[in-house]
Every structure is written in C-alpha cells, then in structure tokens.
Amino acid sequence: MADFTPLAAAVGGALIGLSSVLLMLLTGRVAGISGIFGGLLNPRSGEIGWRIAFFAGLILAPLLAGLIGHGMQPPQMPASWAVIVAAGLLVGFGTRLAGGCTSGHGICGISRMSARSIAATVIFMAVAIATVALTHHVFGG
C-alpha cells in the first residue's frame, strides 16, 4: 500500500462528482464519458457542440495544469501494440454495448441507485480485477 494517496483521491473524486452534478443541473446531461464520446461518432444535429465543448475542457485541464508547473506525464502504456489495439476495441465495443463506463454507470448511475448501473459496475470491476490477476500473476507480466 506504499502508493496509497487518500487525500488526492478524495479531492479528485469530489471534483469528478461535482462535475457530474453540474452537468446534470445546468445542461440536463449525464456525464458518461463513453456516451458523450459515442454520440460524436454517430452525430445528430444539436448533439455535437456540447460534446465537443466537454472534451475541449477535459483535454484543456492537463494543458492548464502544465502552465502552473503540474504537467501531466505521458501514461505508461503496454509495450505491445496488439494489446493496446485489442484493449481499445474491447473498451469501445463493451462500453457502447453496456451503455456506459466508469463515469456513466460507476458514478452517475450508482448515485441514482440504478440496479442496471450497479450490476454493470460490479461486472466490469470484477472482470478487470480477474484480468489483472491473470496477466500479472498467472502468466507473469
């Protein structure tokens, strides 16, 4: 547990929660990232601008943080391109099929005590934990 950062996690988490509440209170939309992104790939009129604005803010955040000296490190990705592509395809297809990801089901859905979202969150968490257990401990990593 050497890397446990409870304070940063609590502050960051509260901001994520605040963002979801504000988006619903102000614009009436669910802050589900896969849904907001998916809507851009299958665009309908009146459904594009707010989605692009949201992603502009999302990508602006690390750039602004960089200006005040807290730039974001490029994420550490797997060495294998095949794994990156396969994982991307699974995340895209899966979240679209399930109608949500960590934000839409995990935060917005659970906040509303939606049985559908609670089931989705339990499943993707459990499967992700099993995947890490297999790749890191069973097959070595």
Partner 1 sequence: MAMIASLLCGLIFGAGLLISGMVQPTKVLAFLDVFGAWDPSLAVVMMAALAVSAPGFMLAKGRSRPLLAVRSFWPARDDIDRPLVIGSAMFGVGWGLVGLCPGPALESLATLSPGVIVFVAAMAAGMVLRDLWQRSRPAKPPEEALAQRAS
Which residues from 106-125 bind partner 1, rule CB under 8 A?
106-112, 114-116, 119-121, 123-125
Q: In sequence order, which residues have a C-beta less than 8 Å from that of residue 27 and are 6 or more positions away?
A: 50
Residues 56-95 that bind partner 1 (CB under 8 A): 56-65, 70, 72-78, 81, 83-95
DSSP 3-state of 11: helix
Q: What is the DSSP letter of 104?
A: I
When the beta carbons of 69 and 72 are compared against partner 1, the nearer one is: 72
- Out of 45, 97, 139, 140, the only residue in the binding site for partner 1 (CB under 8 A) is 97
| Distance (Å, whole) CA 140 – CA 133 | 9
| 94 contact partners, CB below 8 Å, separation of at least 6 | 124
Interface pattern 10-49 for partner 1 (x via CB under 8 A): xxxxxxxxxxxxxxxxxxxxxx-xx--xx--xx------x
Minimum CB separation from partner 1 for residue 69, in Å? 13
